[in-house]
Amino acid sequence: MSSFRKRRKTGCLTCRQRRVKCDERKPTCERCEASNIHCAGYERMRYIDVRHRQRGESPLTPSDSVAPAVVRSGVLLAPHFECEGRPLVALPNNPTPAQRPHARARDVLAYHQYLFRTVHVLFPACYLRFWRDTLCQEAWESEYIYDTITALGSLHRASLLLAGSEENAKTRGADTKVTALQTYTMAIQGLSRQLKSEPPSSDLVIAVLLLLAYFECFNGNIPAAVRHYHLAKYFFLLWSDLEKEESDSLLPIGSALRHLSFVCRVVLPLPITLFGAENSCRLHPDERRRTRALGKDKDGSLMAEYMHQLLDVFSAEEYVADLVWSPFVKDLGSIPMERIKTFLEEVEDWKDRYNDSSLNSVAQKYPSGLSRRDVDGLLVMPQQRKQQHTYQSALTAALYHFCMARLMWALARISGNDEAYELATYFHVSEVLHLSDYAEKGAIGRGRDQDHWVFGEAVDIGFSAMLFLCGLCCPCNLWRDFITERLRLIGREGLFNGPAFATALTVLRGFEPVSNNTAALHSSMLDRLGPPRSRAVPLLFTEKDGRNYRLYVLGPSPDRVDPVLGDFEVVCQAHWTTDEDGAMKEPLVEAFGGDIASPGSAGRPTSDWLLRQPVIGDWMDTFRSSEFDVELAIRDHVNGVRL
């Protein structure tokens, strides 16, 4: 009799992942407890409903016969939406109940997820020739590229499954995520071996680093994503200098770097030049011509093209990207207002081509001019919405209003006395707040089709980042309270942590002067915040472990000229952490030098003190690295991973 013992499949998920014997104690196993690691529990029993074939019936059901029809007609596979609208790519054939898929069988699903869904979400259609065709062709002979593609596709599938409400979907999502993390580790190890045999200044190496950065964006891992982004940008600058002729991959890689730079501006709110990561990826002339080549159809994937187009418009100039996406901009007064107004004309050109009724400007909505009374009623009065949005159309409209709000806020701070810019800011902020209704997780499956994004797929932008930055330019605390509540409801979007943003805005509220108008017509006029130039600015940093947060609040100090902070000074610092369930604990706040209304108070630290803070020093060390270190990559990945 054979002594071969069949491997059991009833152990806890953690022991199965570690490939060790589980004692199967419930609810958590003794082995995990002894090893001082988290026990992920046990998988539910699965039951297969076997339908017996009737006499004379063909052995192939209509669903089983899809594959030959697809092959004969030449129609490509498309994302198949489940009952909750998750765009999971279906295959023409699936394993039968009698088959036990081997360890890497999920690679087939992951590869097709990337090929038919992920790449369309992350990149403009004009660059699919590189991100889809070229990379998938190279993956035939480069295993590290294949592992990177399948890891990203697998994690995309996992994030969609985990966002559902069904327990079975969440179980499948957790299992798929473990597979994605294992494949990711293989990918970075393969990349390390590849870099030992060829120079890093290769478009394929840079592309793989960017895909790894997007992987960590889906994973919510800030340290690992920023490291991959930085190295991709560093290698890109070397490679673009060495290229004698313009490569077909130059524009696709440059576009991806610009879009990821928005994320870095939000999660690393100090001037990006301070970290030695100057942006040399501005909009190429060919891309400017492309932005005017689209038609009027905004359905499906073309809507994603319009969104990528708008992101390119707002990344054309470095100072514009800073004004929109950076919480703090030094020497704002040195930016000529005329340059910003000229740029606004390009935005209006995009709006005319997009031709959406929800993108009303202030002049269109209020022909006779916007007043304080109108602003006070924007949130408290019910808004009649004629147009019903999908998540993606709402995100596109919100992106426009958000960018306009940030630019109008910059103009209001530069001009000082022109109230029109300040009131226009509040109008665009109110539009973002109304559109954020479509960011709720519960709205995942409403009105979706295979060509529209769903919640959690917009990893380089998101409602949480836009709401957080809009919270810095609100007319009163009532609006900010609304934003704080909505951020906690949204949760995490990619690298953007809504509850952490909400905590930062709550701390900020205690360091901004307000004026109470007891004769107010609306309650929104109570606790009105001061003019734009008097507002404080939060600098929120996530520590490398992904669980601790540091907040530094900057207050205006017109008489101070600091080499890093300009006419701002540090008025307080706060620190908080998360519990085992990821909930934010109460922040510990330390104020410096009394009230914010007294700028220049003694005892307030300078930028030298700020740059000596450990959290900022750790991030600056990341941006000083100039080579791929597999040990550091794995360390950042492990520290920030979320199972």
Each residue's pLDDT tens digit, 461-490:
889 999 999 999 988 888 899 999 999 988
User: Are both 159 and 308 inside the same structural domain?
Assistant: no
pLDDT at 50: 41
Band (526; pLDDT cuts 50, 70, 90): low
Contact 315, 258 (CB under 8 A): yes
User: Are both 365 and 434 inside the same structural domain?
Assistant: yes
For the CA atoms of the chain, what is the radius of gyration?
A: 26
Between CA 407 and CA 402 the distance in angstroms is 9
Between CA 255 and CA 257 the distance in angstroms is 5
Angle formed at CA 75 by CA 70 and CA 81, multiple of 5 degrees: 80
pLDDT at 367: 64
In single-letter form, the type of residue at position 382 comes to P
User: Are both 330 and 256 inside the same structural domain?
Assistant: no
Contact 178, 139 (CB under 8 A): no
Closest of 395, 390, 439, 454 to residue 79, by C-alpha: 454
List the single range of 209-213, 243-247, 472-476 with lowest mean pLDDT.
Answer: 243-247
Read off the pLDDT of residues 592-617 as tens digits, 9 standing for 90 and up. Answer: 876 555 555 667 888 889 989 999 98
The pair of three-digit structure tokens given for residue 222, joined into one six-digit string: 């800030």
Tell me: pLDDT of 318 over 70. yes
Ordered strands of the 568-577 beta sheet:
537-542, 548-556, 568-577, 588-591
pLDDT at 620: 85
Between CA 562 and CA 13 the distance in angstroms is 53
pTM, rounded to two decimals: 0.81
Tell me: pLDDT of 179 over 50. yes
Does residue 635 lie in a domain region?
A: no
Which of 276, 291, 312 marks a domain boundary? 276
Closest of 534, 609, 527, 523 to residue 570, by C-alpha: 609
Between CA 217 and CA 92 the distance in angstroms is 30
Residues in the chain: 643
Does residue 352 lie in a domain region?
A: yes
Read off the pLDDT of residues 325-351 as tens digits, 9 standing for 90 and up. Answer: 888 887 777 777 777 878 888 888 888
Instruction: Supply the mean pLDDT for the chain.
Output: 77
* Alpha-carbon torsion (200, 202, 208, 209), positive or negative: positive
User: Are both 264 and 395 inside the same structural domain?
Assistant: no
Between CA 228 and CA 239 the distance in angstroms is 16
Tell me: pLDDT of 393 over 70. yes
Does residue 365 lie in a domain region?
A: yes
Read off the pLDDT of residues 401-457 as tens digits, 9 standing for 90 and up. Answer: 999 999 999 888 888 767 888 888 998 998 899 888 877 644 444 434 445 667 778
Read off the pLDDT of residues 51-109 as tens digits, 9 standing for 90 and up. Answer: 444 444 433 333 333 333 333 334 444 555 554 557 777 666 666 656 666 767 778 88
Task: Determine the distance from the C-alpha atom of residue 445 to the mean position of all C-alpha atoms in its chain, rounded to a whole number.
Answer: 20
Provide the Cα torsion 510, 420, 310, 324; round to 10°.
Answer: -30
Contact 270, 226 (CB under 8 A): no
pLDDT at 153: 94
Tell me: pLDDT of 642 over 60. no
Between CA 362 and CA 101 the distance in angstroms is 58
User: Are both 341 and 255 inside the same structural domain?
Assistant: no
User: Are both 371 and 505 inside the same structural domain?
Assistant: yes
Give the three-state DSSP class for 88.
Answer: strand
- Residues pairing with 514 in the sheet: 529
Does residue 486 lie in a domain region?
A: yes
CATH code for the domain of 25? 4.10.240
User: Are both 263 and 318 inside the same structural domain?
Assistant: no
Q: Based on the structure, what is the number of domains in the chain?
A: 3
Between CA 527 and CA 517 the distance in angstroms is 8
Does residue 325 lie in a domain region?
A: yes
Contact 524, 379 (CB under 8 A): yes
Closest of 507, 519, 512, 526 to residue 588, by C-alpha: 507
Does residue 576 lie in a domain region?
A: yes
Closest of 342, 315, 335, 354 to residue 460, by C-alpha: 315
User: Are both 329 and 257 inside the same structural domain?
Assistant: no
The pair of three-digit structure tokens given for residue 392, joined into one six-digit string: 């993606």
User: Are both 343 and 420 inside the same structural domain?
Assistant: yes
Between CA 117 and CA 121 the distance in angstroms is 6
Between CA 204 and CA 158 the distance in angstroms is 26
Q: HSE, CB side, 13 Å, CA atoms: give it for residue 605.
A: 16
Higher pLDDT, 208 or 245: 208
Q: Could you list the residue range(s) of the whole structural domain that residue 269 is in?
A: 106-276
Q: HSE, CB side, 13 Å, CA atoms: give it for residue 281.
A: 31
Contact 215, 155 (CB under 8 A): yes
Between CA 264 and CA 262 the distance in angstroms is 5
Closest of 302, 304, 435, 430 to residue 375, by C-alpha: 430
User: Are both 460 and 569 inside the same structural domain?
Assistant: yes
Contact 391, 439 (CB under 8 A): yes
Does residue 268 lie in a domain region?
A: yes
Q: In angstroms, how far is the first alpha carbon of the chain from the final one?
A: 41
Tell me: pLDDT of 11 over 90. no
Does residue 207 lie in a domain region?
A: yes
Give the three-state DSSP class for 269.
Answer: coil
User: Are both 267 and 141 inside the same structural domain?
Assistant: yes
In order of 109, 170, 383, 444, the CA distances from 166 in angstroms are 20, 6, 34, 13
User: Are both 223 and 338 inside the same structural domain?
Assistant: no
Tell me: pLDDT of 372 over 80. no
Contact 460, 230 (CB under 8 A): no
Contact 19, 7 (CB under 8 A): no
